[in-house]
Amino acid sequence: MNTAYRMVYPFLPAFGRGLGVDLPALSLVMTLRGLAGAFGPFLAFVADNRGRKAGMLFGLLLFSSGLTLVVFFPTYIGFLIGLILSTLGKYAFDPAMQAYIGDRVAYQQRGRVLAATELGWSTSFILGMPFVAFLISRQGWLAPFPLLALLGIFSLGFLYWWLPKDPNPLKVRPSIIQNLRSTLTYGPAIAGLSIGLLASAANEVINLVFGVWMEDAFGLMIAALGGAAAVIGFSELGGEALSGGFTDRLGKIRAVGLGLAFNCLAALSLPIIGRNVSGALLGLFLFYITFEFTLVSSIPLMTEILPTARATLMAVYVGGLSLGRALGAFLVPLLYIPGKDPSIFRSVLVAVLFNLLALLALKLLRKGMGSSETIV
């Protein structure tokens, strides 16, 4: 799922050439895909009312359907709808999985356990992106879609057979409207959602252009971009490992704050050290390792803010991350002009601004939670 979601970023130029569209048209796809996250809370209704396993299976069904659509309709519209469907599948799956763990793992150990699940995110770059580069370079831009669709269908069957059933659901459960109202009227929840939205927007204004930037500035081709993606994957693996090792010890709020601060410094380093391929890769390594540490540290924090509506809150959080990506994608054409301005400086400044606003939201979250030791 993560490979399918993430392959658009480093191979955006290849998909654009295959579809015959330019960066603004692809930016529209990414913006609409990000806006699809607004439907995540409604998809969480399945996990909250039918069980966490049902929510995960539903997500895999949507994911596989979206990729299959692109295989049979390899057009711009098919690509757009297919990406939205597969992304909705991820937005249904992830909160259900995180709520499943939140139901079963004590908060004091939850950072380590959820960090382990996030390893799928980094390995999608370490293993998935080079393999996608291999497929695209030999068989064209469409080649990854049928394979990933089949893997999604296999995963659906495997999870149905392997994952234990949920306990019998309670006869009376809050409606999705009640859960949403609880989430969107609770101050700490709003502050936490703001952190995710702002941090993901900061990441996206760099994320969406790094492949185009490295093509423009250094002339890297598809295979080399696959290798660059693997380097970023290792940085994310490092971020997940750091989060698993230190978030529970530092406290979730403190860990998120440190991650945001260091992500600002990493972003500012890009124009300074990114004047050759090695420097650019080092800067991206630092940028992604700090962002991943921030994001993974925020997940266990969010699972405990509103336990009575855990799946809904996590779905709203994922939706907030998606809306942040949509905001970043919307701004990209205003910040970066392919082929004319290989500088990434404007994107860096906007990323730092978003991170500083996220730090302000974190301060409000801490204030709203008071001195509770259970949430720190």
Which of 314, 315, 310, 347 lies closest to 332, judged by CA? 347
DSSP for 74-102, please give it: -SHHHHHHHHHHHHHHHHHHHHHHHHHHH
Q: What pLDDT does 122 receive?
A: 85
Contact between residue 85 and residue 70 where contact means Cβ atoms under 8 Å apart: no
Which of 81, 54, 55, 53 lies closest to 68, judged by CA? 81
Q: What is the 3-state secondary structure (H, E, C) of 267-285?
A: HHHHHHHCCCHHHHHHHHH
Length of the chain (residues): 376
First and final CA of the chain: distance in angstroms? 31
Q: How far is CA 104 from CA 54, 101, 189, 211, in A?
A: 17, 5, 21, 40
Which of 310, 302, 132 lies closest to 230, judged by CA? 132
For residues 340 and 152, what is the distance between their CA atoms, to the nearest angstrom? 39
Percentages helix, strand, coil for the chain (3-state, rounded to 5) are 85, 0, 15
Domain spanning 2-161+175-369, CATH class: mainly alpha
For residues 261 and 241, what is the distance between their CA atoms, to the nearest angstrom? 18
Contact between residue 122 and residue 237 where contact means Cβ atoms under 8 Å apart: yes
212's CB contacts (< 8 A; 6+ apart) are 12, 13, 23, 336, 338
Q: What pLDDT does 371 receive?
A: 47
For residues 247 and 255, what is the distance between their CA atoms, to the nearest angstrom? 6
The first and second tokens of residue 33, run together, are: 């895909």
Contact between residue 36 and residue 165 where contact means Cβ atoms under 8 Å apart: no
What are φ and ψ of residue 37, in 5° steps? -65, -20
List the Cα angle 304/310/316 in 5-degree steps: 105
Q: Which residues of 51-72 are buried (b: 16+ CB within 10 A; e: fewer)?
A: bbbbbbbbbbbbbbbbbbbbbe
pTM as predicted = 0.77
The first and second tokens of residue 219, run together, are: 């002339």
Q: What pLDDT does 339 receive?
A: 60
Q: How far is CA 314 from the centre of its chain?
A: 13
pLDDT per position in the chain (376 positions), as tens?
Answer: 999 998 987 788 889 899 999 878 888 888 888 777 677 777 877 777 778 888 899 999 999 999 999 999 999 999 999 999 999 999 889 988 988 888 888 888 898 999 999 889 888 888 888 899 899 999 999 999 999 999 999 999 999 999 887 766 555 566 777 777 888 888 999 999 999 999 999 999 998 887 777 777 676 655 566 666 667 778 889 999 999 999 999 999 999 999 999 999 999 998 888 778 788 888 889 999 999 999 999 999 998 888 877 888 888 888 788 789 889 988 988 887 766 555 788 899 999 999 999 999 999 999 887 644 445 5
Rounded (10°) angle between helices 176-184 and 310-335: 60
Alpha helices in 336-344 (DSSP H): none
For residues 84 and 171, what is the distance between their CA atoms, to the nearest angstrom? 33
